[in-house]
């Protein structure tokens, strides 16, 4: 039974890879660096703080990753370095389906509450939409929605 509980049906790691997202992070850093070269010496502290904050935000995006795993008894969604891990028991899922979503459905990239429920995504507009028996909804972004949905189906059928 223990070996069965450890079986993995699906695993995917995703990172922020949208070039315009990096532009949004990089542009303010460049502006602050240009200003740093032109500000009087007495105002350098504020500039250094701006550079530090920009570097921290860039590092956060660079190291963050969304990891989705389907095991024999749950779906684990871990947004490493950004958000606590979410564990959804297969027994708690009422229905699920692959979904192509818009920014209106998901609310954007990251972890947040959107029209499709609690959303976990880092890029693209494909995912699997879960409806929970409790009435809640979860949208998990993935580059392989059909494969994720098939893995959930296989794990649920094996129960």
| pLDDT level of residue 18 (50, 70, 90 thresholds) | low
How many CB atoms are located within 10 Å of the residue 138 CB?
21
pLDDT at residue 87, rounded to an integer: 97
Query: pLDDT exceeding 70 applies to what percent of the chain?
Result: 80
Architecture field, domain 2-14+65-158: Roll (2.30)
Q: Which of 105, 124, 100 is CA-nearest to residue 115?
A: 105
Model pTM? 0.75
Spatial separation of the C-alpha atoms in residues 4 and 154, rounded to whole Å = 13
Whether 97 shows a pLDDT value over 90: the answer reads yes
Whether 91 shows a pLDDT value over 50: the answer reads yes
| Highest mean pLDDT, choosing among 71-75, 77-81, 122-126 | 71-75
Which range is least confidently modeled, 68-72, 93-97, 117-121? 117-121
Say if residues 105 and 124 touch (Cβ distance below 8 Å). Answer: no
Enumerate the domain spans of the chain.
2-14+65-158, 17-63
Q: How far is CA 37 from the centre of its chain?
A: 36
Spatial separation of the C-alpha atoms in residues 75 and 71, rounded to whole Å = 6
Q: Tell me which residue has tokens 């795993």.
A: 69
pLDDT at residue 147, rounded to an integer: 98
pLDDT at residue 93, rounded to an integer: 98
Whether 64 shows a pLDDT value over 60: the answer reads yes
Question: What's the rounded mean pLDDT across residues 111-140?
Answer: 92
Question: What's the rounded mean pLDDT across residues 2-13?
Answer: 77
pLDDT at residue 127, rounded to an integer: 95
pLDDT at residue 23, rounded to an integer: 63
């Amino acid at each position: 039974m223990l070996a069965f509980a450890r079986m993995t049906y699906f695993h995917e790691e995703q990172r922020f890879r949208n070039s315009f997202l990096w532009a949004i992070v990089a542009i303010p850093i460049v502006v602050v660096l240009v200003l740093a070269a032109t500000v009087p010496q007495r105002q350098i502290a504020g500039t250094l703080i701006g550079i530090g904050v920009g570097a921290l935000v860039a590092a956060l995006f660079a190291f963050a990753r969304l990891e989705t795993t389907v095991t024999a008894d749950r779906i684990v969604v871990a947004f490493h370095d950004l958000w606590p891990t979410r564990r959804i028991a297969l027994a708690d899922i009422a229905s699920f389906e692959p979904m192509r979503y818009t920014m209106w459905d998901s609310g954007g990239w990251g972890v947040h509450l959107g029209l499709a429920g609690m959303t976990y995504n880092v890029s693209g507009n494909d995912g699997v939409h879960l409806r929970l028996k409790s009435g809640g909804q979860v949208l998990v972004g993935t580059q392989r929605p059909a494969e994720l949905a098939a893995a959930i189906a296989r794990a649920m059928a094996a129960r």
